[in-house]
Amino acid sequence: MDNKKGLLIYGIAILLIWLKTYVSYEMNFNLNIENGKQQFLLIFNPLSSIVLLLGITLLFKGKGQKVTILLFSFMSGVVLFSNVLYYRFFSDFITIPVLFQTGNVGDLGGSFTELLAFSDLFLFTDTLILAILMLVMKFEPLVLNKRQIASMFGAALILFTVNLGIAETERPQLLTRTFDREMLVKFIGLQNYHVYDAVLHTKTKTQKVFASESETAEVQNYVNANYKAPNEEMFGKAKGKNVFVITLESTQAFAMEEKVNGKEVTPFLNQLKAQEDTYYFENFYHQTQQGKTSDSEFLLDNSLYPLPGGAVFFTHAQNDYNATPKILQDSGYQTAALHANNKGFWNRDIMYQSLGYELFFDETNYDINESNSYNWGMKDIPFFEQSIDHLNNMKQPFYTKFITLSNHHPFILEEEDKYIDELNTNSTTVNRYLPTVRYTDEALKVFFEDLKKAGLYEDSLFIIYGDHYGISENHNKAMADVIGTEVTPFESTQLQRVPMLIHMPGEGRVDNIDTSTVSGQIDLKPTILHLLGIETKGSIQFGEDLFSPERDELTILRDGRFITDDIVYAQNTFYWKDTGEPIEKDTQKWEKYKEVANEELAYSDQVVYGDLLRFIENSPFDNQAE
């Protein structure tokens, strides 16, 4: 049989899928090509997976071969399209655990439509072209023997081996850098990355089965060696007080320094941070990954790092945790989470039980209607107003966590809720961001006023912090106009700072507290517990009390970046923290922090993947306030 037309169709299919993949790389992803070798890899890396997938179609005969060619062409478009949308929102690539978080998709609402672009149709044009060519050319399926088919698979293997070999010369031990998805996609390609991710996911699923008490002991020894004692003057300073933890959705620290037409973006927060009974930590970073808000909650309550892919709230909700709410319940606190959203979003209804929340006030506990909801749901001001009734019915002392909602992508407000004007940059997202931050700031002001009226303000401890970034790296050009400088990897890291305020009404300020300490969300649990007079020595946690005079000046981000009091490490480059200038020589003294970062992230992952806390029958420290 003449296979010329069939071979031509296969050649065109390879070329079209290859072309659309590379063009999509360039159009939709910011992959930071640094040299000619990386550019070559970006062009070359789709080829091995395309040859492999089209090789599979040769196993089919007749119409089945036609259908599978078109199916693989279409599915390659689906994979690209899904990653493009996800990247536009999160500046990241999809992982296997994320695919199982389908419960969140239905609540995306306006965010999804905001992410669509007309150019996305390009990702499926190759399927249309192939279908037309098959019809016009009267395509006849290829008929090959087993040796010829095997050679197709062999060619795919050779192409991947060459690809990986070149990539390893550019970045040794590439496949151990699982936290850096951008690098994996850039060097081995999107399709190969997804295969590798699936292998890793399968591997991690088996870790719990084979985990042992000896691993728990190993982690325990590590955290014990790094434990930092609390500040004697701050330990127990908030003992017996009600606790309000307020999570500011998508709020970055830079917003607190901004003005729009002379008006402050966060006048209430700025006033609060200036008070004598408030500690504002100016170098506080979010450490979330793909779980975003749920990751920030996980960090808050456990002092463990989130996972490199997916959300712990979904993948490991049934684990044993020694979380802050559980500890405080044992100390006589009533614990509650308040969030006027679907209880199943981020699997909170299941995860909160594992964390020890006694109560969860979700959307069913609020009167939500058209007049008090917009964008993602209930507005922050009515949310806080209606929460007062729930607080009045709670037993004191209580530990409460509030999750705001209005400052969420796509950052849309009704006109009546705009206290400042939108910006005028080349990004609609950036333009709308600061007005929604301003609205949430106003909501906080109203909440504090209502708490004072209800008699719940004075004897309380307030922890107010941002959960994750609001503006992704896809908007760096517009952000450069806002902050007045180019968004380099250094500036991008600094933009991961989020507000962090600890407010204790009437307590005054203790002298010699270093609020410029480099810190992150992982430090919240030991800080809160120590303020309440609960010792955490012996607990498996990776954070350090923000007030401890023994603190290490090191904060590790989930993607492997880290910050010290002197330097910022991002994209394989050290930068001076005070100037943002890259350090080109004599970096050896900071190289050790790379090993520390990798070791700490690995230990934390070990705890979660292996569910290691199940081997600790009772808390290793006294949960009762002293």
Q: Which positions are catalytic?
A: 293
Question: Is residue 140 within 8 Å of 9, Cβ to Cβ?
Answer: no
Question: Distance between terminal CA atoms of the chain?
Answer: 87
**623: Cα separation from own chain's centroid:** 30
Tokens of 495: 């933009």
Tokens of 201: 């996911």
Question: Is residue 394 within 8 Å of 334, Cβ to Cβ?
Answer: yes
Amino acid present at 396: Q
- Name 522's Cβ contacts closer than 8 Å, sequence gap at least 6: 287, 299, 303, 304, 305, 541, 542, 543, 555
Question: Torsion angle of alpha carbons 198, 200, 201, 203, nearest 10°?
Answer: 130
The residue among 372, 369, 323, 363 whose CA lies nearest residue 344 is 363
User: What 8-state DSSP symbol labels residue 45?
Assistant: T
Q: How far is CA 48 from CA 67, 156, 161, 487, in A?
A: 21, 5, 9, 34
SS3 336: strand
Question: Is residue 402 within 8 Å of 464, Cβ to Cβ?
Answer: no
* Helix spans in 255-347 (H): 267-273, 292-302, 312-315, 324-330
- The helix or strand, by DSSP H or E, that contains position 463, with its residue range, turns out to be strand 460-466
- Between CA 306 and CA 288 the distance in angstroms is 6
